[in-house]
Structure 1
Amino acid sequence: MNTIKTKRLVIRPIENGDAEAIHVYAGSPDIDMMMFLPNETMEDTEKFVEFARSEWQKDEPEDREYVILQGSEIIGGINLEKCENRSGNTFEIGWIICRDKRGQGFATEAAMALMSYAFNELNADFVRAHCDIRNTASEGVMKKLGMTLTDGTGTRTYPKTGVTSGEYLYSINRLEYINKKH
């Protein structure tokens, strides 16, 4: 397991005692542009924590789930998932920040650190991210990461609500990442 430190944050793998703090953001009803959130019950969040911990037990986790800490407070989550059926070594990155911590650059700072980990430690060829076309904050993070819009024609249907919306796919490849000197 690996912990990543930035100027203001600690990004560490999810641990057993994290469910209550994770549920603060993962169970928030205002999270309506995330594919599988909000979690409706604490039990849903506990199942997620168990899944995340079981992934970390593998020699090569397919889904690396982290919490983002500011000091000792969990303020969000971020993940790096290995993508199947793609040319090259591709990872998808996604993040969520507690409502009262949004707009302070924490998602960008954490995503920049995890993207660096993907390219430098996991030898990623590509890192990509998806967002709902209405989620301008996440799209802004993707742009700050140096990603470019790869596909603006996608759609997503939310399993919990049945609502369909437009979806953006942003990505960056290894050469672009090196040339942007992150």
Structure 2
Amino acid sequence: MTDLRLRTERLVLRRFSPADLPAVTALCGDPEVMRHLDDGRPVPPDRVATELLPGLLREYAELPDGLGRWALEARATAQAAEPGTGTGTEGRFLGWAALRPPSSVGLVGPERRDGDVELGYRLLPAARGRGYATEAAAALVRAAFAELGAERVVATTMTVNTASRRVLERVGLRHVRTFHVDWPDPIPGSEHGDVVHALTRAEWAAGRAGAVR
């Protein structure tokens, strides 16, 4: 099976490999990346090497074809066109984007529906503000409905994570509820709760997310 998952105007989404350990370590070890994720702390390098990356690689065999976490790379044409990036070559690592069975708090239990898939993404700080997250998320939303037969795309983030919420809204997901969790070790902003955004197949087909179709 090819390592390529998707190609957009400016991005390549491909499978991770063991050679990506330094990139994943840098991504998940960045305090700004992790500020609104998990326990809000950078992931230690040894945990990335022994748990996170091996688990990520196992998903390609364990999950249905088309699901998993995918490395985001800038295409050479995109790098050449953007100020400050230089001409470069295809392959500059930007982060990851994911479509997976729902597993985040707020998306499991009674709230989960058959046919749900969870959308997620993480970008390096230097890659933010260029529309990469929106471009990758839009491509995966389209793939979820057009290729994978999903009935609903769902995502969750902290209420205070306005940047992530804007990405979800731009690709058609709408706010469906806010929830609060008694976290054992709360991070700043958690007192405002978390939000669930969703887009159904019917909404997508009706053109509610017209820009992402």
**Fold match by TM threshold 0.5:** yes
Match of 1:64 in 2: 68
In the alignment, the residues of structure 1 paired with residue 141 and residue 63 of structure 2 have an alpha-carbon distance, to the nearest angstrom, of 20
Worse-matched range after superposition: 40-49 or 132-141: 40-49
- Deviations 1:93-115 (Å, cap 9, x if unpaired)? 11111001101100000011111
Match of 2:175 in 1: 149
Q: Is the counterpart of residue 80 in structure 1 residue 99 in structure 2? A: yes
Q: Could you tell me the TM-score, scaled by structure 1's length?
A: 0.89
SS of the aligned residue for 1:57 comes to helix
After TM superposition, give the deviation of residue 116 of structure 1 in Å: 1.1
C-alpha contact (below 8 Å) 1:65/1:78 kept by paired residues = yes
Larger helix fraction of residues? 2
In the alignment, the residues of structure 1 paired with residue 63 and residue 56 of structure 2 have an alpha-carbon distance, to the nearest angstrom, of 14
In the alignment, the residues of structure 2 paired with residue 59 and residue 25 of structure 1 have an alpha-carbon distance, to the nearest angstrom, of 23
After TM superposition, give the deviation of residue 61 of structure 1 in Å: 6.3
- Deviations 1:59-107 (Å, cap 9, x if unpaired)? 6269611111113111011111113653330001111110011011000
Structure 2, unaligned runs of 5 or more: 75-89, 103-107
In the alignment, the residues of structure 1 paired with residue 98 and residue 132 of structure 2 have an alpha-carbon distance, to the nearest angstrom, of 14
- Deviations 1:14-41 (Å, cap 9, x if unpaired)? 2111111112221111221012554432
Structure 1, unaligned runs of 5 or more: none
Larger strand fraction of residues? 1
**Rg larger in 1 or in 2?**
2
In the alignment, the residues of structure 2 paired with residue 158 and residue 25 of structure 1 have an alpha-carbon distance, to the nearest angstrom, of 24
In the alignment, the residues of structure 1 paired with residue 23 and residue 45 of structure 2 have an alpha-carbon distance, to the nearest angstrom, of 10
C-alpha contact (below 8 Å) 2:39/2:186 kept by paired residues = no
Paired residue total: 180
Match of 2:21 in 1: 19
Worse-matched range after superposition: 82-91 or 163-172: 82-91
C-alpha contact (below 8 Å) 1:55/1:62 kept by paired residues = no
Over the matched positions of the two proteins, sequence identity in percent amounts to 24
Residues 62 and 110 of structure 1: CA distance in aligned 2, closer, same or farther (over 3 Å): closer
Q: Is the counterpart of residue 169 in structure 1 residue 196 in structure 2? A: yes
Amino acid at match of 2:115: N
Q: Is the counterpart of residue 53 in structure 1 residue 41 in structure 2? A: no
